[in-house]
Structure formats: structure tokens, C-alpha cells
Amino acid sequence: MLIDALQFVKPSRERFEEWHTAGISAVHATVAIWEDSTETMREVGRWQRLLAENTDLLREGRSGNDIRAADQDGRTAIVLGFQNSSPFEDDLDLVGAFHQAGVRIAQLTYNTQNSAGAGCWEGDDAGLSRTYGVNLIREMNQVGMLIDISHCNERTSLEALEASERPVAITHSNPREFVGENVELAFRNKSDTVLKKAAEKGGVVGLSMYPRIAPQGIACTIGEFCDMVAYTVELIGVDHVGLGSDYYAGQGDEELHWWRQGRWSRKPMVPISGPVEFPEWFAAGSGYGPVLEELRRRGFSESEVTKISGGNWLRMFDDGFAAGSPS
């Protein structure tokens, strides 16, 4: 089983065929970054239509069993998720409503400060909101929506891990201490402190080959990526390491500007270069096979490779997508 814990590709038949060719059993697909509830529901509706029109390649991923079924019949399960909590509009009732609509994962923040907490573009003097942020986490725990802290700053990440009664995901990030400070978005990566705390709480980190956060940036090789996998396994244990590419094929300049500045800025607040290509070896996910083979060559057992390729995410999804006990 192969699970990619975060992609934001422009959905199309071409992308779906790439997933099929690469043997990807499930993709966590982003449906919102800055959108409000109405805009997000339109995107959820678009995905529902695409799922209905491409049943030979796709199925919906509302549970771990949906992902198992997709893996068995050679399709890709689509897990809908947010990279921000903006679609909830600070209204806890919308958490359950979006869960009913099929959304299973939501980041608390996307780079900037919001009502829930502070993103990685902010300083670490701000953290999780003690009012809305804490209550949002409780509500997500309750309905069965996985909390994602990939773009949160250090303080918000740690405070969210403390506040959540259920495991917390880092769907697409890398260990900052291993990657170093010389990549373009080094601040997007997670400290060893956050990674260790997430693992202690039962969470999983999806390691990414996104060039702005990967070892050596655009020059990252399979060997260097696997070095990072080995480092993270040594740091937090093989039960807490997975994959999350952050692949965004098909998106144009307009979408990239939207991600970086939303409606709240006239220009990007953090200098970022133009579009970057993912490593040639990744090739729309076809590089996952060679990555797993390299891990085997390095002495990872078959059971360890199975956990990294998707087993750890599947375990987390089994628990995290189910409603919690009444408080």
C-alpha cells in the first residue's frame, strides 16, 4: 500500500492516471487554503463530481477501509482535506458539517496568523488560541477530523499537540535539523522537538520531496531523501514516519499567487522564487517505487518499508477519521 499524505494538484484525468501508474492507494487532496465555507463547498462538490466521473480510477476515502478497498482493486482513494481552518469561519458547527461532506483532515493554519493559531510565517511569540483554537481541536477530535500542523509555527505546533486528545498529523514536512537552513523555506520544516512530541502522541510525519523544503533543495537525490528517512526513523521511530510529497502539478501562476498571498496582501510577504520542478526521479509519484527499493537496499525490513509507504498513515486514519467518545 502506498499513501501520499498531501498533494495539491489541479485535478484532471491525467493526474488520476499518473496515480494509477504509480500504484498510489490514497492521496490526501487539498480542497481549500484561504477559501470560506461556500467557496470550499463548491470545491468539495467538484471533487464529488470527479469521483463519480472517474470510478475506474478513483474512490472516496472517508475511512481506512475505503483506502484498503481502493488498494485491493487498483484504484486511488481520495481523502479530502484543508490546508487551513478558514472554511470553518470560526464556527464549530461547520466542522461536523464538513466531516459529513467527506472532509477528513484540516490544518489549523496556513503560514499566517488566524483565529486558531499562528502559522510558520509568524514569529514564535504567538501560539494556539486558548479560546477558538483549543475548542476547534476539541471539535475535530470529537467528529473524527484529523488535525494537521504542517504549516504551524513552533509554538502553535507544540500547544496543539498538548491540547489534542488524539494523535496529530504532520502531513508534509521535513526535519529542520537534518535539512538545515540553506533551503528556501527552511522555516516550514519541523524541529526535532516537535517531531518527537508528535511521535509521543501517536502521530505521523509525511516526509516531502518538495524542493523548497527537501535536503539540497532542487538537487535532492533519492539517496539524500532516503538519508532523511533514515534520520527521522532513528529520531522518532519507524511507526511514525510516512510520505507526503506536497506535489502540485498543473497549477498555474494565478493559483500560486493565491496560495502565497490570499486576499490579505498585495504581494507575497515572504520572498519566494518562481515555480520549481520536483526532482526528476519523483516523476509524478513514480519515484516512490525506487525510494522504497533504496530503503530495502539499506537494510530496512519489509515490515518497516510497509509502515513507511502507507501502513502508518492507514493506522492513523483508522482511528482519526472515526468519531470520538462523547466528552
Question: For position 121, what pLDDT does the model report?
Answer: 86
**How would DSSP label each residue in 104-148?**
EEEES-SSS--SS--BTTS-TT----TTHHHHHHHHHHHHT-EEE
Residue 326 lies in a domain: no
pTM of the model: 0.95
Question: For position 97, what pLDDT does the model report?
Answer: 98
Regions of the chain with pLDDT less than 70: 250-259, 268-269, 271-274, 325-327
- Per-residue cell: 284: 509524478
Residue 251 lies in a domain: yes
The range of the structural domain enclosing residue 148 comes to: 3-320
Q: What is the DSSP letter of 278?
A: P
Question: For position 256, what pLDDT does the model report?
Answer: 66
Question: For position 327, what pLDDT does the model report?
Answer: 40
- Distance between CA atoms of residues 75 and 80, nearest Å: 16
Residue 325 lies in a domain: no
Residue 327 lies in a domain: no
Phi-psi region of 313 (alpha: psi -120 to 50; beta: other; left: phi over 0): alpha
Q: What is the DSSP letter of 304?
A: H
Buried b / exposed e over 190-206, threshold 16 CB at 10 Å, is beeebbebbbebbbbbb
Identify the CATH number of the domain in which residue 306 sits: 3.20.20.140
Number of domains in the chain: 1
Question: For position 326, what pLDDT does the model report?
Answer: 43
Q: What is the pLDDT of residues 219-266, one digit of tens each?
A: 999 999 999 999 999 999 999 999 999 998 756 666 666 667 777 777
